[in-house]
Amino acid sequence: MKQPQSSVSDKVPDPSWADMVAQGRDKPWFWRLLMSRGAALYLRYRLAYQRLSRLRPGQLRRLQRRLGLTLAGAALLLALSSGPIFASPNNTITVDGVNCTLADAITAANSDAATGGCDAGSGADILDITADIALTSVLPRIESDVTI
């Protein structure tokens, strides 16, 4: 299967994808599913893998224990899901609690305009929270597609 060029970080190990494709050959239904989705599935897998690999170690262990899957297996499960799993990487708003607050990030995602120290959202957005957030007031209502 040809693997597409993407802007996803090269930290994502392609051997995990190759291993799944190789295992899929033993299961005709799985092989057909992989082949029918092609390059789009590969890109979704890489995006999911990258996002999951950024979880805190404790969060990742809990997820793996609950699902009984490896990181690669969880990424494939997300990639095969019917709905969008993550917004594209350029729709990420980083919430650091100093320059970009959670309230400003939600407003930026809703309005698709830069707010406070937050970049403008665009369509479906990812709010990447990189610091502990203490809520001291009511947050704005989320009115657009947002993944936190």
Exposed e or buried b for every residue in 78-115, given b needs 16+ CB within 10 A? bbbeeeebbbbeebbbbbbeeebbbbbbbbbbbeeeeb
Percent of the chain at pLDDT above 70? Answer: 84
- 39-93: pLDDT as tens digits: 777 777 888 888 888 888 888 888 778 877 777 777 777 777 755 554 445 578 8
Q: Bigger pLDDT: 78 or 129?
A: 129
Radius of gyration of the chain (CA): 17
For residues 35 and 93, state if they share a domain.
no
What is the reported pTM? 0.43
Confidence of residue 35 (pLDDT cuts 50, 70, 90): confident
2 lies in a domain? no
In degrees to the nearest 10, what's the CA dihedral of 75, 127, 89, 55?
-40
For residue 20, give the amino acid letter: M
Range with lowest mean pLDDT among 8-22, 30-44, 94-108, 128-142: 8-22
8 lies in a domain? no
Segments forming the whole domain that contains residue 127: 89-147
The total number of structural domains that make up the chain: 2
Domain end, chosen from 80, 106, 137, is at: 80
